[in-house]
Each structure stands twice: as C-alpha cells, then as structure tokens.
Amino acid sequence: MSTESLTDPDTGQGDPFAASSRETTEGRVYTVTGGDWDEFIDDTEGEERVVINLGPQHPSTHGVLRLVLELEGERVVKARSVIGYLHTGIEKNTEYRNWTQGVTFVTRMDYLAPLYNEAAYCLGTEKLLGIEAPKRAQTIRVLLMELNRISSHLVFLATGAMEIGSTTGMTFGFRDREEVLHLLEFLTGLRMNHAFIRPGGVAQDLPEGYRDKIQEFLKVMDERLPDYDKLFSGQPIWKQRLRGVGYLPLDACIALGATGPLLRSAGVAWDLRKIQPYSGYEEYDFEVPTSTDADCFSRFLLRVEEIRQSMRIVRQCLDKLEPGPVMVEDPKIAWPAKLTIGPDGMGNSLEHVRKIMGQSMESLIHHFKLVTEGFDVPPGQVYSPVEAPRGELGYHMVSDGGTRPMRVHVRDPSFVNLQTFPAMAEGGLVADVIAAVASIDPVMGGVDR
C-alpha cells in the first residue's frame, strides 16, 4: 500500500492506521484493506486450520450444548465445550421453598434421571433430620431408581445410535423406554419429574396390581434385550465405528474426576451402590460390569449390561417388598398426608380431606402449617451421594435450622464428565466428536441447572 493512500486528505499527514479514500460523485469513499493481512498470511502459510461452532444444538447431549472445534482438515486440533444455554437456577430456587417443595425443583435437573435427584436430595435432608425412611419406602426407592436407570440407558442407546446413523437403534431405544415410562406413570402418577420420593419416605404406597405390571415389563425386556446384541454388539460396522474412538484411559479419568460408565470402562469397578451402600443396596446381589478398553464401544457394552443388572435388582425388590409404612411416623415431617391418584392427577384422598375439613380443626391447622411453612431442619451440613446412571450425583446441603435450605449445591456427573470431552476428541476426526460426546451421555439440565 502506497504512502499516498495513507495520507489524510484533510491534514495531509500520513497515518499508518488510516483507511485510503477517494472522492466520488456521492462523496468521499473509504477503503479498509487491513495493512497487516500479508503478514498474517506469511505467519500461517502452510496451515489449513478453521474454527467451527458445532451448535449450540442437541447432538446426543439431551440439551443445548455448544462445541467449539479447531480443525486441521478433518482432524480436531483443539476442542472445548461451552455450556450455560439451559440455565434454570434450580439450586438457588430451592433456597426459597421449604424442604419438601425442593423435591419438585431438583427432579428437573437431570430430567432423564429424576428419581436419582429426588433420592439424593431426600437422603441429605434425612441425614440432617437424623431420621431414616421405613424399610418398605427404601425398597420402593431402589425399585424406582433401577427402573429409572434402565430408561436413562435406553435414551443413551437411542440418541447415540441415531446421531451416528442407526435409525433402527433409535426406534428400538425409544420404543423400550416408553415401556419404562408407562410403568413409572402407573407406579408414581407421572412419566417424568415425579416428585414421588419425599423426605421421610415416598409420597404414597404402590398401587394395586404393581407386581403384575412390573413382571410384565421384565418379561418384555427379557425378550427385547437380546435384539440390542444382534443389532449392535456383534455388528462389524458398529464395532468399527466405535472401537478406539473417544479413548480415555484410567489416569485421565481420575485426573478429570470422571465417574460412572466412563470410569468403569477404564477398568475401575467404582459404584457407590457397592462402595458406599445406601437405601439398603448392601442387601442386593448384582455385579458391577467393567472393561479396560476405555473407548466408546466399551461404554456401550457396559450400559447394556447395566440394564441387565438393574432388571436383576428389580426382581429382588419384588421379593423384598414387605408390608409396612412408606413414610416416617412423625406427623411433623410426614407431608403430604394421605395421597391418592384420581382422574385429575395426584392429590389428597377424599377421606383425608373429610377429616381435616369436617372433623378435626387441629388436623386442618397442622396440615395448613406443614404445607405452607414446612418442618424445621436442625442446623448443619451434609453431602449425600448416589450412583446415578451417569456417575456420582452428590448433594451438598446446608441448613441454618429453618424450614428452607440455606444452600443446596449439586455435584452433577454430567457437568464433571463433560470436561473429559477435549481429551477424547482432540487428535481424532471431526466425525468421531459426536460418538465421543454420546458416550459421555451428558444431560444439559444437570450441567447448567
């Protein structure tokens, strides 16, 4: 660029940062050329790198995730995940509701594993209260959580298969997940976001005919699970597509805090149901599947086997369900009182309504105070973890002695596991990015919360 073109026509002085200009019939026109472009070209000569946004969208992530990838050809040189597009403020919202109402918030975090959020939150509340749910309630919790694990892993199979080209796998996964959701709706009244597990136990006992319904479901899954092995496990295209992809060895898993199927695929049988049992898990007979391949294919195989182990636990739950209460006897905690499921949804039973409205003023006052104010929880703090489908889901809860939590902070496994994504993707092909993310199985409702 000539010095003349950088001379200001008004002052006549040269300005290395000024744009060149010329007079036209429409007035003065400036041309911005970027004088350092040639230097930039010289510095990057020989490199063919491009930065792309993959998202923010929904590729196998059960939510809105943005991936920023720096590519050299089809090879990923640098990768990072950008989160926050699904932020709901659930943790903060729990500070403005009583301890029981908080269940309706936390169940919406990881919305593919709502019952695990409810269980971890209620276990923390019960630790602060110094109480334990009745035996039957604990067995019901385990039953519901293992059904929830099956439905969650089926969504992993369905969405992961769909994103890498298997529409049959997608239809299989969602078809079978519907079977679980129909069963959960029968047992709890809702397909998702149940708010069924409450501090002190569960909202109500299982409905009549629950045993037959669960056994029918188990029979259906016994018939359909082998189809996944026929369609995927021994299928050469599926193997070639996933083997060696998204490799994350044990040292990387530990350094990045990965848990769940990610850690178990690297060879460590770390499962809180075995390591730190809760809700009576020490009484159940089941295996913790592991692998040492540490790739996408091994994570797929592990989750299919975990579905089998969950079905094994569900069968044991049916044998362990002994008659008894499903909520602690303390009337100052046991809220809501007698529930029923009617044509308009879940609510207080007519018998209970008749009692508090027409027979006992004290019952009405107590019910009103318990529903509006809630119960006091002694001051203290606690951390209560459970083994969710994606790994360790932990609740750090702080009470100042009032009817509402002072602080609820969640260690969500999707949030922690998502930081393994760059280690899996960098150095691999851009086509393998989706397979790697799908094997993490993140749920953005839990990441952003």
Pick 73 or 118 by higher pLDDT: 118
SS3 labels along 333-381: CCCCCCEEEECCEEEECHHHHHHHHHCCHHHHHHHHHHHHCCCCCCCEE
- Beta bridge mates, 53: 68
What would the mean pLDDT of 371-395 be, rounded to a whole number? 91
Give the pair of three-digit tokens for residue 92.
Answer: 């903060």
pLDDT digits (tens, 9 = 90+) for 190-215: 889 988 999 989 988 898 899 999 99
Q: pLDDT digits over 93-143, tens only?
A: 999 998 988 999 999 998 899 999 999 999 999 999 999 999 999 999 999
Neighbours of 375 (CB within 10 A): 20
Task: Provide the pLDDT for residue 220.
Answer: 94
Angstrom CA distances, 140 to 118, 203, 260, 276, stand at 13, 11, 23, 19
Angle in degrees, CA 404, 381, 193, rounded to 5: 55
Sign of the alpha-carbon dihedral angle for 58, 60, 66, 71 = negative
Sign of torsion over alpha carbons 340, 343, 347, 349: negative
Average pLDDT of the residues in 274-302: 93
Spatial separation of the C-alpha atoms in residues 31 and 199, rounded to whole Å:
69
- pLDDT band, residue 338 (cuts 50/70/90): low
Evaluate whether 190 touches 102 at the Cβ level (below 8 Å): no
Q: Are 414 and 116 in contact (CB under 8 A)?
A: no
d(CA 104, CA 200): 15
**What tokens appear for 443 in the block?**
């749920």
Is residue 14 within 8 Å of 3, Cβ to Cβ?
yes
Q: What DSSP string runs through 168-225?
A: HHHHHHHHHHHHHHHHHHHHHS-SS----EETTEESSPPPTTHHHHHHHHHHHHHHHH
Query: What are the tens digits of pLDDT across the range 409-441?
Result: 999 999 999 999 999 998 889 889 989 999 998
Least-confidence region, from 19-33, 206-220, 222-236: 19-33
CA dihedral 118, 124, 130, 131 (to 10 degrees): 20
User: 3-state DSSP call for residue 26?
Assistant: coil
- Distance, in Å, from the CA atom of 294 to the CA atom of 251, rounded to the nearest integer, reads 11
- Neighbouring C-alpha atoms within 13 Å toward the C-beta of 13: 3
pTM of the shown model: 0.83
Summarize pLDDT for 249-269 with one digit per residue, the tens: 999 999 999 999 999 999 999
Q: Which residues contact 449 (CB under 8 A, 6 or more apart)?
A: 87, 88, 89, 90, 91, 109, 410, 412
Half-sphere exposure of 179 (CA within 13 A, CB side): 21
Write out pLDDT tens, residues 392-405.
Answer: 999 999 999 988 99
For the chain, the average pLDDT equals 85
Among the four given CATH numbers 2.60.40.10, 3.40.50.10540, 3.40.50.300, 1.10.645.10, the one describing domain 57-335+374-448: 1.10.645.10
The sign one gets for the Cα dihedral 201, 203, 204, 207 is: negative
Question: Judging by beta carbons within 10 Å of its beta carbon (0-12, 13-18, 19+), is residue 402 exposed, middle or buried?
Answer: middle
- 383, pLDDT greater than 80: yes
Residue 406: what pLDDT? 94
What is the predicted pLDDT for the residue at 41? Answer: 46
* Confidence (pLDDT) at 44: 46
pLDDT at 30 (0 to 100): 63
Alpha helices per DSSP H over 236-281: 236-242, 250-256, 261-264, 272-275
Of the listed ranges 143-157, 168-182, 265-279, 335-349, the one predicted with least confidence: 335-349
For position 417, what pLDDT does the model report? Answer: 93
Cα gap 52→163, rounded to integer Å: 19
Higher pLDDT, 346 or 229: 229
For the chain, the structural domain boundaries read 4-46, 57-335+374-448
pLDDT of 82 over the 90 cut: no
Q: What is the pLDDT of residue 445?
A: 87
For a pLDDT cut of 70, what percent of the chain falls above it? 84
Count of CB atoms within 10 A of residue 147's CB?
24
At 217, the pLDDT band (50, 70, 90 cuts) reads very high
- In 3D space, the residue among 415, 413, 363, 422 whose CA is nearest the CA of residue 388 turns out to be 413
Residue 335 predicted with pLDDT over 90: no
> How far, rounded to the nearest angstrom, does the alpha carbon of residue 131 sit from its chain's CA centroid?
28
